[in-house]
Structure 1
Amino acid sequence: MKKLFLIFIVAIIYFSIAGCSSKKDRFDGESIDKFQKDIEDIDEQKPIETVTPAADDDTIIVWCITSELYDIVNKFIETHPDFDYKIKINSFATMDVDYEKLLYETLRKGHLSLYDFEVPDIYSVEMSYVARFTQGDAYQYSADYKELGIDVDRLPRDAEIPEYYVEIGTNPEGKLMGLGYHNTSGAFIYRRSIAKEVWGTDEPSIINDIIGPGWDKFFEAAEDLKEKGFGICSGIEDIWHMVKNSADLGWVLDGKLYIDPKREAFLDYAYKLVENDYTNNTKAWSDAWYQDMKGEGEKDILGFFGPSWLVNYVIMPYCGGETIGEGTYGDWAISNAPLDFFWGGSMVMARKDTKHKEAVGEILEWITLDTSETGLQELWASEEFYPGVKEIPAATKVAKRHENRMDFLGGQDIFEAYISAGYHTSGNNSTMYDVSIDGYWLEQVHEYVNGGKTREEAIADFKELVDERTDVVVE
């Protein structure tokens, strides 16, 4: 007999279409102040007590930081009518709260009495801080995929999951704790018309060999572009993720700050870009950065570095048009980047003490590793998840079965372009401190390249920020 699904949405969440309403739009001021204060007042020194969640025994609690997981879980419900559990979804996608801290404290204590948020069985974590939950001070609160009944020795290999997902998702004991569902490998997204004017071709396979591999070719290409009045990228932050992911080690080694030589070299690469006028010296996510996407910046820019989501949800909406001939629409193509990298995305994980391990494992496997015709990876790639939209799944095995030739890319198949991009990028250089330390580093590099500080001062001030604002030892 089929059992009914009941989807509960937390009543306090106000879903804004734009996702950018103010605090006042979602809560009254007193409630928000209490919410933030309750989180801050949690005493981290108190012994952890396991408290039984308030949910019914046949209810699985899901926390999601993006609207994607909300939609994904609903799709699971729709396609699994015989699933024996109710599912309650708490979405934080439009809430102005510190989700990372709230999730950490909830998992640590086993319960958190804030607006009836029940401890989750399944939760999403953004890649920027997922290392805290897979390898850092919160990994012991998460279940490994194997104890959820997932064949971790065979399925990731058979699905051809990129190495960076497996490495970041693996805890210090070698157990797989989380995986993503979306390909976030990086590539170079460039203007065809500029490539043709400078090198006489816009063919991706040829551009691959012009801008890379390696930094020497990249800067040679930048000089070629400068001679014709173009920039190679919008600003120094455009190359940061390549630099960051090329490092052999992360920011923290044995509890101490470590500046990998390849990350320290970012000072020199960034300085060279600015000193030689190879960019428009913008900052990522600024108005000037977006202007370069539509060809209305100080000078025309060849391209941007990023995953497929940057193409679909950033460059395309900001290109200044919706059909070929409008703005820069149709003037783009994708080649390999000089160095492999990845950027962004989310992972799905499970609480170690969930009562419903087998059922939770069924959901997580369907999301991340099921490469069948009915798994999320196939639905994600075939317009059956979001009508009219083909997303590149994390499972390369599935991506190889599909193509998506886009007018925006001059007819290029975006799936083929990203299948090999970043596949062998390492995830072993990520730490739980990356969000904070990356920010401090970029701030100081901007100061240096724009003449505000010497190289030595920038490094010294960076170390001081890490020392003052984190618990990382700085020597």
Structure 2
Amino acid sequence: MLMKTCTKCGATVENEAKICCNCGNVFPEKRPFSKAGVAGFICSLSAVALVPTILISYFFIIVIFDLYNLNTFFMLLGAVSCLAAFVCCILGFFFSLNGVKDSRKNNLRGQGMASTGLVLSSVLGGICLTCVAMLVAQAVLLGALLGTLLNSPSSSGSSSSSSRSSYSDWEYERRLTETTTYTEETWSEETTTEKWTITYGTGPEKIDLWSFTDEIPKMVGEYIDLHPEFGEKYTVECTIIATDGGAYQRALDNALAAGGDTAPDIYSAEAAFILKYSKGEMSQFASTYKDLGIDVDKKIKEADIAKYSVDIGTRDGKVVALGYEGTGSVMIYNAEVAKDVFGTDDPAEIEKIVGAGSGNWDKFFKAAEQIKEKGYVAVSGPSDLWNGCEKSADTPWVVDGELKIDPKREKYIDIAKTIADNGYSNGAQQWSEPWYTDMKGEGEHKVFAFFGPMWLIQYVMIGNSGYWPGKGEGTFGQWRVCAPPVGFFWGGTWLLANKDTDQKEGVAELIEWITLDTSETGLQYLWANGIVDWDNDPSTTTSKDTVTSAVVMAKSDGSLDFCGGQNVYPAFIAGNKYASAKAMTQYDEHINGYWTDCVEKYVDGTYSREEAIEEFKKLVMDNITF
């Protein structure tokens, strides 16, 4: 006969008995679980569930160290997860401990569950406490690094030494609430801009330089590192104002118009608005390079400076601005696709297949049909060909105050439609997530080619190729470059000097070193070989970039791992030569936007071809005054 023991008096009774015959204790149908034990086990499991989040956070912090963006986010995520897990462990420990005692004392179920919770909470609690301590330490380190970067003071009474590793000859100041007011004809706007000032050198003579990024100011610092005597003679104060909302242009226009000490001696302009300052309404403030004492025509010829860069900076036959970064573009093609489709990935052979330098897209579209037959697409989207169509035009958008549609720009409406109707692309737009996905080779169909300058490779494609250092994932290493069917440039920055500057000698020395010096200590050579060192730290030298001088690129190392070790500079030299600026106007940025928007609506069926063109004309006439 089966027997059981009364939990109240200890008497032995029959297993079927519902009441103890000795003390009257009522036997439950089933022994209940210890509530404390269950609670402790659940809390411990919650701590365990947070472990993946903690591990992921640490993975990104350690493997992908991004000082300003991801690292801060994942440190915060890791800290919150650790703290939450630690709280769960504390609760789990106390509940589980009570659960063990309760189950033993009252013969309740769940003793094993409570014991498990006790072990888990004890072990994980210690780990979490250690992790929190490590995150706090790393946060302190990050704060120290940021403090060093943002608050590096100049040393009072510093010597003439130009070493920026100790920040002894320059000061860095950030002004966040500089308010400027600008009035133009019938409108006025008050804006709050972010203004940065960097000062290099300690000399008695002052040069004011204005820019919209810290790129050119850092070049000045590099020059003083190489030529400390310049820093002993001059103090170069660099003002940086972002282009957001047109803030830089408004501030620069005000300063140039005011003149005197307010106006900069040197200023920069990017491709989107350079014509305003080199040929347009603000060009009267720019000095010719010849007036600065630069033998510009001779040096342009000796350096073989890209013609498009010279044309953009020429006013009435005289050079007033030159760029330094070569933005002539190439065709960036996938070698694996090329081999599968054409049986070769040799750049010289691919150039023949796509009609490199022909000035038209005829051969490229014949190749696109072959690419499609193999299950690939020629381009990510129709917009990849727009820059070539736009920059190869022979006639500007505006001629004698009238809107003109050059045949090469008008042809883009048919090119875009052909690409869409024939399935030659994945339909992605530039700067969209699908565009980036295609760079990684994970779009609907693998893409054969992208078109663009070196900066597209270095600052967009490499980061979106799926590459992890040393692992070779994604499409990294699969790409090659060759001259494009239609030449164009995309972007760039030009340097100008104020005609009223009283520091012509110093201004000329800086501008000539940045834009025309072809020596191995000139900016362009350092830039092309990836050895510009902003802060005397070898780990922070610049990436290789193309320059405007063909002479410099011809003697530089243009090999890129991203392109399988190919020397890409011969293709970019050709890209610079094919690029043209003859059809540019200061209105292009807005007009281009209206045209591409209307083309997209034609492609998706919203407009007919004629309706798209008429809508484009209406948008331009209604919104832009020539």
Q: Fold-level match, TM-score > 0.5?
A: yes
Residue 321 of structure 1 corresponds to: 467
Is the 2:347–2:481 Cα contact (8 Å) retained in structure 1? yes
Residue 138 of structure 1 corresponds to: 282
Q: SS state of the match for residue 91, structure 1?
A: strand
Residue 518 of structure 2 corresponds to: 371
Instruction: Quote the Cα distance in structure 1 between the aligned partners of 2:236 and 2:161.
Output: 10
Task: Say whether residues 1:436 and 2:590 are aligned partners.
Answer: yes
The CA deviation string for residues 346-388 of structure 1, in whole angstroms up to 9 with x for no partner, is 1111112112122111110010001122211122123330436
Residue 52 of structure 1 corresponds to: none
Give, in angstroms, the shift of residue 8 of structure 1. 4.9
Give, in angstroms, the shift of residue 42 of structure 1. 5.0
Residue 600 of structure 2 corresponds to: 446
The CA deviation string for residues 230-280 of structure 1, in whole angstroms up to 9 with x for no partner, is 111111111111111211121111122111111111111111111111111
Residue 225 of structure 1 corresponds to: 371
Q: Given residue 425 of structure 2, which amino acid in structure 1 is its aligned partner? A: T
* CA shift in 2, pair 1:469/1:388, >3 Å: closer
Higher helix share: 2
Is the 1:8–1:87 Cα contact (8 Å) retained in structure 2? no
Instruction: Quote the Cα distance in structure 2 between the aligned partners of 1:125 and 1:229.
Output: 43
Is the 1:403–1:416 Cα contact (8 Å) retained in structure 2? no
Is the 1:180–1:368 Cα contact (8 Å) retained in structure 2? yes
1:305-316 to structure 2, matched below 5 A, reads: 305-316=451-462
Match of 1:104 among 229, 253, 256: 253
Residue 192 of structure 2 corresponds to: none
Is the 2:377–2:423 Cα contact (8 Å) retained in structure 1? yes
Task: Say whether residues 1:239 and 2:385 are aligned partners.
Answer: yes
- Report the number of matched residues: 436
Match of 2:337 among 189, 194, 197: 194
Instruction: Quote the Cα distance in structure 2 between the aligned partners of 1:263 and 1:310.
Output: 23
Q: Given residue 119 of structure 1, which amino acid in structure 2 is its aligned partner? A: A
Q: Given residue 331 of structure 1, which amino acid in structure 2 is its aligned partner? A: Q
Q: Given residue 67 of structure 1, which amino acid in structure 2 is its aligned partner? A: D
Is the 2:323–2:515 Cα contact (8 Å) retained in structure 1? yes
Instruction: Quote the Cα distance in structure 1 between the aligned partners of 2:542 and 2:325.
Output: 17
Task: Say whether residues 1:380 and 2:380 are aligned partners.
Answer: no
Match of 1:128 among 262, 272, 275: 272
Give, in angstroms, the shift of residue 106 of structure 1. 2.6
Residue 401 of structure 1 corresponds to: 555
Task: Say whether residues 1:11 and 2:174 are aligned partners.
Answer: yes
Residue 180 of structure 1 corresponds to: 323
Match of 2:213 among 52, 60, 66: 66
* CA shift in 2, pair 1:57/1:353, >3 Å: farther
* CA shift in 2, pair 1:469/1:109, >3 Å: farther
Q: Given residue 329 of structure 2, which amino acid in structure 1 is its aligned partner? A: G
Is the 1:294–1:328 Cα contact (8 Å) retained in structure 2? yes
* CA shift in 2, pair 1:383/1:425, >3 Å: closer
Task: Say whether residues 1:206 and 2:349 are aligned partners.
Answer: yes
Q: SS state of the match for residue 384, structure 1?
A: coil
Is the 2:458–2:543 Cα contact (8 Å) retained in structure 1? no
Instruction: Quote the Cα distance in structure 1 between the aligned partners of 2:443 and 2:362.
Output: 26
Residue 45 of structure 2 corresponds to: none
Is the 2:241–2:247 Cα contact (8 Å) retained in structure 1? no
Residue 280 of structure 1 corresponds to: 426
Instruction: Quote the Cα distance in structure 2 between the aligned partners of 1:468 and 1:4.
Output: 58
Task: Say whether residues 1:300 and 2:446 are aligned partners.
Answer: yes
Give, in angstroms, the shift of residue 198 of structure 1. 0.9
Instruction: Quote the Cα distance in structure 1 between the aligned partners of 2:590 and 2:243.
Output: 22
Bigger radius of gyration = 2
Is the 2:437–2:443 Cα contact (8 Å) retained in structure 1? yes
The CA deviation string for residues 193-224 of structure 1, in whole angstroms up to 9 with x for no partner, is 11111111111111111112331101101111
RCO higher in structure (CA 8 A, sep ≥6): 1
The CA deviation string for residues 385-425 of structure 1, in whole angstroms up to 9 with x for no partner, is 04363222211111111123222111211222312223142
* CA shift in 2, pair 1:61/1:7, >3 Å: farther
Residue 337 of structure 1 corresponds to: 484
Give, in angstroms, the shift of residue 98 of structure 1. 2.7
Q: SS state of the match for residue 449, structure 2?
A: strand
Q: Given residue 530 of structure 2, which amino acid in structure 1 is its aligned partner? A: E
The CA deviation string for residues 136-167 of structure 1, in whole angstroms up to 9 with x for no partner, is 11111111111111112200010000110011
Q: Given residue 377 of structure 2, which amino acid in structure 1 is its aligned partner? A: G
* CA shift in 2, pair 1:271/1:95, >3 Å: closer
Higher strand share: 2
Is the 2:525–2:556 Cα contact (8 Å) retained in structure 1? no
Q: Given residue 91 of structure 1, which amino acid in structure 2 is its aligned partner? A: I
Give, in angstroms, the shift of residue 45 of structure 1. 11
Q: Which runs of 5+ in 2 are unaligned?
A: 1-158, 163-168, 189-198, 534-540
Task: Say whether residues 1:463 and 2:617 are aligned partners.
Answer: yes
Instruction: Quote the Cα distance in structure 2 between the aligned partners of 1:160 and 1:382.
Output: 18
Task: Say whether residues 1:391 and 2:534 are aligned partners.
Answer: no
Is the 2:243–2:249 Cα contact (8 Å) retained in structure 1? no
Instruction: Quote the Cα distance in structure 2 between the aligned partners of 1:448 and 1:369.
Output: 45
The CA deviation string for residues 113-153 of structure 1, in whole angstroms up to 9 with x for no partner, is xxxx9421111110122111111111111111111111122
* CA shift in 2, pair 1:317/1:45, >3 Å: closer
* CA shift in 2, pair 1:379/1:325, >3 Å: closer
* CA shift in 2, pair 1:96/1:246, >3 Å: closer
The CA deviation string for residues 424-449 of structure 1, in whole angstroms up to 9 with x for no partner, is 42211111111111111111111111
* CA shift in 2, pair 1:457/1:224, >3 Å: same
Give, in angstroms, the shift of residue 57 of structure 1. 8.1
Is the 1:324–1:408 Cα contact (8 Å) retained in structure 2? no
Q: SS state of the match for residue 421, structure 1?
A: helix
Is the 1:129–1:434 Cα contact (8 Å) retained in structure 2? no
Instruction: Quote the Cα distance in structure 2 between the aligned partners of 1:94 and 1:433.
Output: 17
Q: SS state of the match for residue 596, structure 2?
A: helix
Match of 1:166 among 307, 310, 331: 310
Moved more, 389-398 or 427-436: 389-398
Give, in angstroms, the shift of residue 459 of structure 1. 1.4
Is the 2:529–2:558 Cα contact (8 Å) retained in structure 1? no
Q: Given residue 227 of structure 1, which amino acid in structure 2 is its aligned partner? A: E
Match of 1:264 among 389, 392, 410: 410
* CA shift in 2, pair 1:393/1:42, >3 Å: same
Moved more, 150-159 or 401-410: 401-410
The CA deviation string for residues 270-294 of structure 1, in whole angstroms up to 9 with x for no partner, is 1111111111111110111111100
* CA shift in 2, pair 1:60/1:215, >3 Å: same
Residue 579 of structure 2 corresponds to: 425
Q: Given residue 373 of structure 1, which amino acid in structure 2 is its aligned partner? A: E
Is the 1:150–1:361 Cα contact (8 Å) retained in structure 2? yes
Is the 2:489–2:580 Cα contact (8 Å) retained in structure 1? no
Is the 1:192–1:331 Cα contact (8 Å) retained in structure 2? yes
Q: Given residue 348 of structure 2, which amino acid in structure 1 is its aligned partner? A: S
Instruction: Quote the Cα distance in structure 2 between the aligned partners of 1:252 and 1:324.
Output: 51
